[in-house]
Amino acid sequence: MKKVINTIFLWASTLSSLLPITAYASGVVYDKALYQQVIKQTPQAVQLYKNLLSLPNDTHNQEDIKKLSSWLIHAFNQRGFESHTLDMSGSPLVYAERINPNAKKTVLVYLQADGQPVDPKAWQQPNPYQAVLKKQQNDGRWQVVPWSYLTQSMDPDLRIFARSAADSKGPIAQFLVALDLIQQQGPLNYNLKVIMDTEEEIGSPNLPAAIIRHKQKLKADMLLIFDGPPHYSNQPTVTLGARGIATVQLTTYGPYKPQHSGHYGNYAPNPALHLSQILGSMKSQDGRVLIPNFYEGSTISADLRELLSKVPDDEQQLKQKLGFSVHDKVGNTLQESIQFPSLNIRGLQSGWVEQQARTIVPDKAIAEIDIRLVKESNPQRLISLIRNHIESLGYYVIDRVPTHKERMAHPYIVTMKSKPVYGAFRSEPNSLAGKMAIQGLTKFYGERPIVLRSGGGSIPIAPIIDTLKIPAAIVPSVNADNNQHSPNENLRVGNFIEGIAIIASVLNQPL
Ligand SMILES: [Zn+2]
């Protein structure tokens, strides 16, 4: 025991002398006592994190998810929670609650437990579920270093590589360690309920029904989501919304089979041309949707413009990195642009290209479209607008493959399939969730974090918020450049440590 304590002490004192007490990008940490506490706890935190990373969590593998769920239930039970899986279709949510009989408020926390599949050959380590510690070399390559580096030459730029290191076992490990830290100061004055999603990577198809079914159990005053990356500058961030998503597939038809373009060009109608004309009529060259009323309800007031301008985006640098010179003209800036619904062509297919190019009139053309929704968007309304627009161009629009009779009766046919996936959400900075998250980060860093009115991406949170009618805030605790979903996913050690402190500081706000 003594040896263990000595080791931890050595760890803590080594770290505090080597790790500069600075925020990962923004400035000086204000709550040094909390930071020191986290540093002391870091050896155990890394061990817990490595154990969690060693559990495969491919969302498609039920056996993996079962073992992972048992681990989570055990981890929460050990921390005074009552924990079990919730009865529902699909892969069940893991639920944990710690009730304080004197509490007046309840905080619901969302964590994501499942992960993307792995292709071990693409990883620069033997097993994506066996975490490795790496240091970046001068030539930019990442090289495996012994775990003892964390005690010897510890620097915050070391990274831990494994599947779900950032998305999203990092936040789970950080949350568990944060619970241990705040427990040392006595019980929280609110009830804490936690749901852990095991189907996030497939769009949480069973989550909305499960939330409705367990509405009473999940009753809370606010939702905190510890997931996702911060602003790309890696500065502390609170995100108060996310866009929703709906998908549309359009198919146009030519002859039944591809036909010789010499024999039938100028005679057989070309589906690629028709599809291009449809798509071209929907948007201007500079990216604005031309379908009337598509942006209805979304405006940028002077106040909102002022608020959005506080986000420190370096758009010149961003354009250099992304490789274009002029942005679409939906908003004046990146932040303004994501306050509107989008209509994005995400894939196109007709005939063959490059080496396979053939002299044919194709049989059909397909476009895949996604619509990112904002809170003001009604997905069914937007889908109807698209449908009406295509009809106004003279097309016969159906939701299935046309019959022979229909082909003979209608010169221009489009099959349109659509699906609202989930809605958008947005909470106010002065809502309970907004205040708890923003104050928690402000207290730890001594300055207000970047507050994003909405992230551009989509997370399956809207069903929870709509059913429970509570505000929500997303508190990212991992680095932005973490390779999530790709091979060689990682978490920066400095972010791992500060993420624990961020979560502890947020949870420590009395209610
Ligand atoms: Zn993901």
Q: What is the pLDDT of residues 272-309, one digit of tens each?
A: 999 999 999 999 999 999 999 999 999 999 999 999 99
Peptide bond into 454 cis (omega under 30): no
Q: How far is the CA of 77 from the centre of ligand 1 (A)?
A: 26
Multiple choice CATH, 244-298+340-422, 3.40.350.10, 3.40.50.300, 3.30.70.360, 3.90.226.10: 3.30.70.360
Please give the radius of gyration of the chain, using alpha carbons only, rounded to the nearest integer: 26
Mean pLDDT of all residues in 459-466: 90
Question: 360: which strand partners?
Answer: 260
Please, are residues 105 and 190 in contact by the beta-carbon 8 Å criterion?
A: yes
Handedness of CA 270, 272, 278, 284 (dihedral sign): negative
The tokens of 106 are what?
């309840």
Question: 53: which strand partners?
Answer: none
Mean pLDDT of all residues in 393-415: 98
pLDDT band of residue 182 (cuts 50, 70, 90) is: very high
pLDDT-above-90 percentage for the chain: 87
What pLDDT, in 10s, does the model give residues 478-488? 999 999 999 99
pLDDT band of residue 153 (cuts 50, 70, 90) is: low
Q: How far is the CA of 116 from the centre of ligand 1 (A)?
A: 7
Domain boundaries, the chain: 2-242+424-507, 244-298+340-422
Mean pLDDT of all residues in 448-466: 91
Phi, psi of 418 (to 5 degrees): -140, 155
Residue 350 has pLDDT above 80, yes or no: yes
pLDDT (0 to 100) of residue 28: 60
Q: How far is the CA of 484 from the centre of ligand 1 (A)?
A: 7
- Give the CATH fold of the 2-242+424-507 domain: Aminopeptidase (3.40.630)
Alpha-carbon span 203 to 344, nearest angstrom: 19
Mean pLDDT of all residues in 93-112: 96
Q: How far is the CA of 220 from the centre of ligand 1 (A)?
A: 25
Report the half-sphere exposure of 307 (CA within 13 A, side-chain side).
14
pLDDT (0 to 100) of residue 16: 40
Q: How far is the CA of 184 from the centre of ligand 1 (A)?
A: 32
Which residue blocks in 200-285 are alpha helix, DSSP H? 207-213, 215-218, 261-264, 271-282
Q: How far is the CA of 491 from the centre of ligand 1 (A)?
A: 14
Q: How far is the CA of 26 from the centre of ligand 1 (A)?
A: 26
Same fold, 2-242+424-507 and 244-298+340-422: no
Q: How far is the CA of 467 from the centre of ligand 1 (A)?
A: 23
pLDDT band of residue 459 (cuts 50, 70, 90) is: confident
pLDDT-above-70 percentage for the chain: 94
